[in-house]
Structure 1
Amino acid sequence: MATKTTSRAGAAPAKTADKANAKKIDDVQQMTEQDVLAMPEADYMNAAQLAFFRNILVQLKDEMLRKAGATTEYLREEVSVVPDPADRATIEEEHALELRTRDRERKLLKKVEQSIASIDAGDYGYCEETGEPIGIGRLLARPTATLSLEAQQRRELKQKMFGD
C-alpha cells in the first residue's frame, strides 16, 4: 500500500504542473491585443508575447491552408461545361481572381512560416537590418514584419529612388 501512496504523491506534482501548463496555454490563447500592448517595454518579446504571436501566426497559417484546400475543391467542382459565353467568362474571371488571391496567400504563407521559425530561433520581433525592436503595434498590424518602421521606410525610399 505504501507504493500506492508514493505513486499518488509522485503523481500529484505532475498533475499540478500539467494544470499549470494548461492554464498558461489557456491564458496565452485568451490574451488580447490590449493585454500585449499593456505589457511594459522591458518585457518586450517575453515568453507570453512570443506565444501570443505564435498563436496568431499558426491560426493565420491554418486559415490559409484551409482556404487553399477549399479553392482546390471549388475549382474542381466548377469544371462543368457552360454553354453561355457570358456565364463561362464570368466563371473564368472568378477562377482567375481566386487563383490570384491564393497566389498572394501562398507568398504570405512563406512569410508566416519564416516568422514562426524566427520565434523558434529567438529572433522574432527584432529588425533584420538594425537589430532594434520592431514594436508591438507594428507586429500586431503585420505579424510577419521583419523590419522596423524606420528600416522599412528607408527600404521603400531606396526602391523608389533606384527602382529595385
Structure 2
Amino acid sequence: MASKSAAAKNQSHLLTEKELLAMPESDYMNHDQLAFFRNRLKELEQEILNNADATTENLRETQFVPDPADRATIEEEHALELRTRDRERKLLKKVQQAITRIDAGEYGWCEETGEPIGVPRLLARPTATLSLEAQERREMRQKLYGD
C-alpha cells in the first residue's frame, strides 16, 4: 500500500508547463523534467492506443449499404481513418522510442550534435530527436539533395 501512496504523491508533484519553462538552464533534463516528459509521452501513447481500439470497433461495425454512393462514402471514410491510424502507428513508435531514450538518459539531447534540444521544442514535439538547428539543416539537405 505504501508504494501506491508514493506513486500518487509523485503523480501530484509533476511540474506544470509554466514551472518547466521557468526552470534555469542548469536544471535541464533533471529528474523532475524527465518525469514531466515521461508522463506526457505515456499519456500520448495511451491516447494513440485508445484511438486504435476505437478504429477497430468502427471498422467491425460496418454494415452493408446497398446504395453505391453511400457505400463509396463509407469506404472513403474508412480509408481516411486507416491513413490517420497509420500516421498514429508511426507516432506511437516514436513515442515509445522517446520513452526508451528517457530510460537510457539520452532524452532531450540532439542525436546529431549532442546539444540540448530545448524545453520549448520538446513541449511542442516531445518525440524530437534533433535540435531546431539540426532539424533545419536536415530539411535543407533533403530539399537540396533529395536525401
TM-score (norm 1): 0.85
CA distance in 2: counterparts of 1:51 and 1:147, whole angstroms: 20
Q: Tell me if 1:84 matches 2:70.
A: no
Specify the code of the residue in structure 2 equivalent to 1:44. Answer: Y
Show structure 2 runs of 5+ residues with no match. none
Aligned length: 147
CA distance in 2: counterparts of 1:136 and 1:103, whole angstroms: 28
RMSD: 1.7
Q: Tell me if 1:53 matches 2:40.
A: no
* Deviation by residue 1:51-104 (Cα, 9 ceiling, x = unmatched): 0000000000000001001100100101x2101111001100000000000000
1:108 paired residue among 79, 91, 99 = 91
% identical equivalent positions: 70
- 2:116 paired residue number: 133
- 1:7 paired residue number: none
Show structure 1 runs of 5+ residues with no match. 1-14
- Report deviation, 1:24: 3.0
Q: Tell me if 1:27 matches 2:10.
A: no
Larger relative helix fraction: 1
TM-score (norm 2): 0.95
CA distance in 1: counterparts of 2:47 and 2:132, whole angstroms: 27
Specify the code of the residue in structure 2 equivalent to 1:120. Answer: D
1:93 paired residue among 59, 64, 76 = 76
SS of residue paired to 2:90: helix
CA distance in 1: counterparts of 2:56 and 2:122, whole angstroms: 31
Distance of aligned partners of 1:82 and 1:16 in 2 relative to their CA distance in 1, 3 Å threshold: closer
